Amino acid sequence: MQTRKVLHIDSNHPLMIRELSLLGYENVEDYTTSKEIIEQSIHQYEGIIIRSRFKIDRQFLDLATNLKFIGRVGAGLENIDCDYAIQKGVKLIAAPEGNRTAVGEHALGMLLSLLNKLNLVDQEVRQGIWIREGNRGIEIEGKTVGLIGYGNMGNAFAKRLQGFDCKVIFYDIKDNLENQFAKQVSLHELQEEADIISLHTPQTPQTINLVNKAFIENCKKPFWLINTARGKAVNTADLVEALKEKKVLGAALDVLEYEKSSFENMFTENSLPEPMQYLIQAKNVLLSPHIAGWTIESKEKLAQVIIDKIKKL
């Protein structure tokens, strides 16, 4: 009987290895070998478990002649040529259910910190600076929060806004997604009403540069921006211009346009683009290193979701 082998390209929760073994798979862990070397043996594997170490493209898929499934331990599938994989009969498994709580809580935390200047005042107090009047915060109560994208992540954030006595609306390309947490509206209506705009979209050709100069100018009111989705959804140069012109009042960014495609690093070049240099210095900008879905609990949940979906293949 031929061994059913699964290749683990990125490290994950030990639950993944244990549960796949119980399902009869032989686990091969290779977290450092180059893509080119892996391609030489990929024909041996029935499954691949990956986060974002490299892109699974047509060449890779053509060499993976026995591949039955790819498990992406995360929400998005943009590092996989999905259409070609499906054409070849490969099942694609993502796990947005596994880190939606983490993303919802992180987005809320960033919003509260941004509106109350918590990151800024923390640094000031550590330097012996005690400013009260100049650091008055802004309340969420009475504001309209507009979400763009209303899948697992958008729902998780909307749910966590329920105790703040704010209005929550959303725009999504899919119809009939409205529930008890938020009202579905057109993009135009969202841009007319929102005081706070939060992105919860996957990376697709339609969402790259979604928030750009034209988008910002179409918003009726100055707004606060939160992005815990994908960095390329925001045109950074246009965002910086809007921050300078106070069309955007502040930004909380967990993801950045300049991230590496692996999401693992950004500060690897000799110099950063000028817009990024501005964001690092701006007092009304809050930054985190793509960790919105990155909790102790989500690591295990993501693995369990992948296992549960493999069991149903």
Active site amino acids: 230, 259, 290
Pull the structure tokens for residue 276.
């990024």
Rounded to 10 degrees, what is the CA torsion of 228, 230, 234, 240? 60
**Rounded Cα–Cα distance for residues 124 and 140 (Å):** 24
Q: Please, where are the H alpha helices in the chain?
A: 14-22, 35-39, 58-63, 82-87, 96-115, 118-126, 152-160, 187-193, 213-217, 236-244, 274-281, 296-311
Q: How many CB atoms are located within 10 Å of the residue 293 CB?
A: 26
Phi, psi of 53 (to 5 degrees): -60, -40
Amino acid identity for residue 170 in this structure: F
**Rounded Cα–Cα distance for residues 9 and 32 (Å):** 8
**Rounded Cα–Cα distance for residues 191 and 46 (Å):** 46
- Give yes or no for a contact between 63 and 24, defined as CB atoms under 8 angstroms apart: no
- Give yes or no for a contact between 170 and 185, defined as CB atoms under 8 angstroms apart: yes
Strands 4-8 and 47-50: parallel
- Give yes or no for a contact between 145 and 169, defined as CB atoms under 8 angstroms apart: yes
